[in-house]
Amino acid sequence: MLRSVATVGAWTMTSRVLGFARDMLIAAKLGATPMADAFFVALRLPNLFRQLFGEGAFNAAFVPAFAGTYAADGPARARLLANSLAGLMTIVLSGLVLLGIVFMPQLLFVLAPGFVGEAVRFPLAVELTRITFPYLLFICLAALVSGVLNGMDRFGAAAAAPVLFNLVSMAALLGLTPFVATPAHALAWGVVASGLLQLLMLLTAARLAGMRLNPLSRPRFTPEVRGVLRRMGPGLVGAGVTQLNLAIGIIIASLLPAGAVSFLYYADRISQLPLGVIGAAVGTALLPTLSRQLRRGEALSAHRSQNRAVELTVAFALPAAFAMATVPHPIIAALFERGAFDATATAATSAALVAYAVGLPAFVLVKALTPGFFARGDTATPVRIAFGVVALNLALNLLLTRWFGHVGIALATSAASWANVAALAWLLMRRGRFVLDRRLRRTAPRLLGAAVIMSAVLLVLQAALFPLESGWARLAALAVLVGAGLVTYFATAHAFGAFDLRQAARLLRRRR
């Protein structure tokens, strides 16, 4: 599993670094203006539906079924399952895309009510979202093909596909802007093109792996297909609840003064780095691993895999969260403060980043805990938990935004995520499916101590390196902060015995 996590994590890190470059470019061109708010809503809406139909619920039901069918019945039966679901997904999502394009004003009236009546944000958001909405179809099919590759233990291409999103977005913003109405229009067209290219790349990777897929296949409702659809039911409800959670943030942010949507977007992009690199990597690798171990009756191996997944998430999420909470202003200023993104936007975004940092370990731990349910075919329990989390998130949003504005939305998200982690962990432990082993109980407090010492070092260095006015000087100073933080954290953790750097080096040499 560690090798799979490393593969997914390396590609995800590449994608996130390019994502930062893309966001730096967007911040310079669009800043935190009404045009930026409109684009971020246009980007978030198809992503809400993508996460509903293409990733969480679908992968939770599909990946274990595909991996099991592939192992037990061979490639031909597994290909029939994948093609049938791809054809069904094409039919359903094509209809959804058409309906969304036609009724986009009504949809945004519900999801971005604060934009209604405005001369700039509402009509622009409608136009941009109509452009980006077909991305939903392409990226959901890409998620299905990624599930096929993951089920075959081929993680590289699926993890590399998001790199195209960032490259194509930057190319569109730089090359297409002179030929369309606004830079936001260029970005919107780049989103659609990136979705199509990701799908084509993954289909090619699947064909090279011996799994030829056709999204236009006629659906066949075999017992395996019906089983996936049956397990997807609770998952879709749960994913719908989760997306409602995110939609609540959009709705409330749209009601706040202009710029709130953008502040939250930029802060969320920073917090997504560890979530994407380690959280998504662990979740992606853990689900098929647990599914196979449980299918073979290897309960002890499954127990160890779950503990090592939690240990990995804690080891990488803690320093990231402490760093974001300790030096948020240098991070935002170095990455985004240039062009249309001014010092006021930096201060507002930094405050939101601190609020997201509070919940960062929880965001990542959810990715390590939910496979413990999904691998056992239990998609209903996370749904029941999600309903409670949504209710809590809504209540906290309404309460905290009255006091803290857009920062209250981030705080509500963090608090609700910790409640989600607590409920998932408690139920897994109560059912005897997750017990903290001796190694995890020993390393977790030592990792926490290393993160605290790292934060103290960052505070001292921040006082010495900032403030700086030059954008490139800030980037160099931020690189020094990041390097010093990493060295301090890993050296301290090694000294505390939380993990052995020499053993990690041996593993990397062996892998090469």
Q: What is the CA radius of gyration of the chain?
A: 22
The answer to whether residue 387 is domain-embedded is no
CB 184 within 8 A of CB 169: no
The answer to whether residue 173 is domain-embedded is yes
Which has the closest alpha carbon to 404: 192, 238, 216, 260? Answer: 260
Quote the CA–CA distance of 305 and 126 in Å, as a whole number.
46
Q: Return the structure tokens found at 53.
A: 């139909």
Q: Which carries the bigger pLDDT value, residue 273 or residue 163? A: 163
Residue 158 confidence (pLDDT): 74
The answer to whether residue 138 is domain-embedded is yes
Quote the CA–CA distance of 214 and 205 in Å, as a whole number.
13
Neighbour-count burial of 76, counting CB atoms closer than 10 A to its CB (0-12 exposed, 13-18 middle, 19+ buried): exposed
Mean pLDDT, rounded, of the chain: 82
Q: Which carries the bigger pLDDT value, residue 491 or residue 386? A: 491
Residue 89 has pLDDT above 90, yes or no: no
- The pLDDT of 26-44, averaged and rounded, is 87
Q: What percent of the chain has pLDDT over 70?
A: 84
- The pLDDT of 10-28, averaged and rounded, is 78
Burial call 351-363: b when 16+ CB within 10 Å, e when fewer:
bbbbbbbbbbbbb
pLDDT digits (tens, 9 = 90+) for 44-88: 878 776 666 555 566 667 777 887 788 777 888 888 888 898 899
Q: Which carries the bigger pLDDT value, residue 214 or residue 59? A: 214
Residue 12 confidence (pLDDT): 64
For residue 46, cis peptide bond before it (omega within 30 degrees of 0)? no
Number of domains in the chain: 1
Range of the domain at 68: 34-220
pLDDT digits (tens, 9 = 90+) for 440-463: 889 889 999 999 999 999 999 988
Name, in order, each residue with C-beta under 8 angstroms of 301's C-beta and a sequence gap of 6 or more: 293
Q: Return the structure tokens found at 467.
A: 């403030």
pLDDT band at 508 (very low <50, low <70, confident <90, very high): very low
Residue 295 has pLDDT above 80, yes or no: no
pLDDT digits (tens, 9 = 90+) for 107-130: 888 888 888 878 788 999 999 999
Name, in order, each residue with C-beta under 8 angstroms of 216's C-beta and a sequence gap of 6 or more: 87, 90
- The pLDDT of 333-355, averaged and rounded, is 89
Residue 156, phi then psi, degrees to nearest 5: -65, -55
Q: Would the CA dihedral through 499, 502, 503, 504 be positive or negative?
A: positive
The answer to whether residue 94 is domain-embedded is yes
Highest mean pLDDT among 78-82, 324-328, 359-363: 324-328
The answer to whether residue 109 is domain-embedded is yes
pLDDT digits (tens, 9 = 90+) for 141-165: 988 888 888 777 776 677 778 888 8
Which has the closest alpha carbon to 83: 191, 194, 224, 178? Answer: 224
Q: Return the structure tokens found at 496.
A: 């505390």
Name, in order, each residue with C-beta under 8 angstroms of 263's C-beta and a sequence gap of 6 or more: 32, 345, 348, 349, 352, 406
Quote the CA–CA distance of 229 and 58 in Å, as a whole number.
9
Which has the closest alpha carbon to 32: 257, 250, 246, 192? Answer: 257
Residue 413 has pLDDT above 60, yes or no: yes
Please give the C-alpha separations between residue 359 and each of 37, 127, 272, 402, 472, in angstroms, as whole numbers.
24, 34, 11, 20, 30
Residue 287 confidence (pLDDT): 60
**How many angstroms separate the first and last alpha carbons of the chain?**
16
The answer to whether residue 354 is domain-embedded is no
Which has the closest alpha carbon to 2: 376, 503, 374? Answer: 503
Name, in order, each residue with C-beta under 8 angstroms of 469's C-beta and a sequence gap of 6 or more: none
Q: Return the structure tokens found at 100.
A: 């969304």
Amino acid letter, 82: A
Residue 143 confidence (pLDDT): 85
Q: Return the structure tokens found at 415.
A: 């608090």
